[in-house]
């Protein structure tokens, strides 16, 4: 199965790094979509089938938390797995996000290996 993945971060540099890592993994990818903030992410979700979302938290226009909260109230979007990638290291924040339904949390700075492992776990992919 090939996956459609949405990468949301206001930093073009970070989006480029994540896209590069995704292309280096063994995960079969159909298309990688990119958005600069939560609102653009929601717009992308309206128009495309997305299997996995990788999102930052602190972004202008709409934060990652606001986007996840909006998705949680939408029957069509609430089951799309979300991995948050952020500099925020607070356990309280991570708990809050997990209550809102995110699947995993990765702190920046991250390694390609750690990102790849978490994506495999969330998608239930086994490369062996």
Q: Is 114 in the site for another protein (CB under 8 A)?
A: no
From the list 8-16, 29-37, 67-75, 98-106, the region that binds another protein by CB under 8 A is: 8-16
Q: Is 35 helix (H, G, I), strand (E, B) or coil?
A: strand
Distance of alpha carbon 37 from alpha carbon 35, whole angstroms:
6
Q: Is 92 in the site for another protein (CB under 8 A)?
A: yes
Q: Is 32 in the site for another protein (CB under 8 A)?
A: no
Q: What is the DSSP letter of 33?
A: E
From the list 30-38, 41-49, 71-79, 84-92, the region that binds another protein by CB under 8 A is: 84-92
DSSP string of 40-102, one letter each residue: HHHHHHHHS--SEEEE-S--SSS-HHHHHHHHHT-TTTTTS-EEEEES---HHHHHHHHHTT-
Distance of alpha carbon 56 from alpha carbon 9, whole angstroms:
5
Give the other-Cβ count within 10 Å of 117's Cβ. 14
80 vs 110, which CB is nearer to another protein?
110
Q: Is 100 in the site for another protein (CB under 8 A)?
A: no
From the list 13-21, 31-39, 45-53, 76-84, the region that binds another protein by CB under 8 A is: 13-21
CB of 49: closest distance to another protein in angstroms? 29
* Chain residues that interact with another protein, rule: CB under 8 A: 11-14, 16-17, 20, 58, 86-93, 107-109, 111
């Amino acid at each position: 199965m090939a996956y459609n993945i949405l990468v949301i971060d206001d930093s073009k540099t970070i989006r480029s790094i994540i896209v590069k890592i995704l292309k280096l993994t063994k995960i079969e990818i159909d298309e990688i979509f990119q958005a600069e903030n939560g609102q653009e992410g929601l717009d992308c979700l309206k128009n495309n089938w997305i299997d996995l979302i990788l999102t930052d938290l602190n972004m202008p226009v709409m934060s990652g938390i606001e986007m996840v909260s909006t998705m949680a109230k939408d029957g069509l979007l609430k089951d799309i797995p979300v991995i948050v990638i952020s500099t925020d290291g607070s356990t309280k924040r991570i708990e809050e996000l997990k209550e809102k339904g995110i699947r995993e949390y990765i702190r920046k700075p991250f390694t390609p290996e750690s990102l790849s492992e978490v994506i495999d776990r969330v998608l239930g992919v086994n490369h062996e």
